[in-house]
Amino acid sequence: MRSLGRTRRKAGEALTAWALLTPSLIGVVLFMLVPIAIVVWLSFYRWNLISPPRFVGLANWVGIMTNGRFANSLLVTGAFVLIVIPTQTALGLFFANLLHRRLPGSGFFRTLYVLPWVCAPIAVGVMWTWVLAPSHGALNTLIGHRIEWLSDQALALPSVALVSVWSQVGYVTLFFLSGLGAIPETITEAAQLDGAGRLRIFWTITVPLLRPTLFFVLLTTAITAAQTFDTVYVLTGGGPLYATDVVGARIYYEAFQNHEFGSAAAMALVVFILLAAMALLQKLYFDKRTTYDLST
């Protein structure tokens, strides 16, 4: 009798659980898993939405590998990530160390630093097209020279990277600040008593103890940077001459401007694989190195 009641309760509980899960399950299946299946299917088809889809075998894959444009976009994305990530990580660490001293007003500065990050990337991009405009732009007026920040072949990518760094530094700073807060002061004080200098303490104590934070920050910011789209879309549209044609923009233009949905799908899958590989590599690297448990 008792076990029957329990069985019935369990069955009721399972039923309730599935009812509660239904909406999110629809979302996960229909808008995440089905799209992955479609992307794989689509990468073997040619489809422009006007004529019916046509099976083309590996043509899209061969096409994106041999046509230099996709390779270019991967290189541009790689260069972009290599400029953005070290710069904003170094700046984030720097400002987090300043804020960590908790001088009066630190909270106010922290707020100001995070402000760019909450602004819509599109609005940030629009704002910076003016700041970087050749004539009547804020930066050129300030330095008194006319520099084509966004239309010079060599300057465009670093300029776009600068805008990206500007909007992300506060976010990175915030995480390092919270990581620094978790390091017990007794450790740094002990090192100081042993006569270690400020820089020595930073490299031999702070950085190793920050490793979990560093891992998280590097992983999320690298994945975000590799998918950059909004800022590039308004700042340069991928130009001049594909100098800022990051892969997020390439997929967009391939699909929604050239209406080559099949090859856009193949590109998207390559990006998926590369991002997963990047996450795995970073994890292996950080796992190999010791992390310290400060919970005691």
Binding residue for other proteins, selected from 102, 145, 288, 289, defined by CB under 8 A = 102
Candidates 27-35, 58-66, 152-160, 286-294 — which segment interacts with other proteins by CB under 8 A? 27-35
Q: Is 31 in the site for other proteins (CB under 8 A)?
A: yes
Minimum distance between the CB of residue 293 and other proteins, rounded to whole angstroms?
Answer: 20
Contacts of 139 (CB under 8 A, 6+ apart): 131, 132, 147, 149
Cβ-based nearer residue to other proteins, 79 or 114? 114
Q: Is 238 in the site for other proteins (CB under 8 A)?
A: no
Alpha helix stretches (DSSP H) within the chain:
2-28, 34-42, 59-66, 68-100, 106-118, 121-131, 138-143, 156-181, 185-193, 198-201, 207-209, 211-226, 230-235, 247-256, 261-288
Candidates 57-65, 80-88, 145-153, 182-190 — which segment interacts with other proteins by CB under 8 A? 182-190
Q: Is 113 in the site for other proteins (CB under 8 A)?
A: yes
Q: Is 229 in the site for other proteins (CB under 8 A)?
A: yes
Q: Is 13 in the site for other proteins (CB under 8 A)?
A: yes
Q: Is 204 helix (H, G, I), strand (E, B) or coil?
A: helix
> Where in 250-279 is the site for other proteins (CB under 8 A)?
251-252, 255-256, 261, 264-265, 268-269, 271-272, 275-276, 279
Q: Which of 173, 177, 180 is nearest to 294 (CA)?
A: 180
Q: Which of 272, 250, 247 is nearest to 39 (CA)?
A: 272
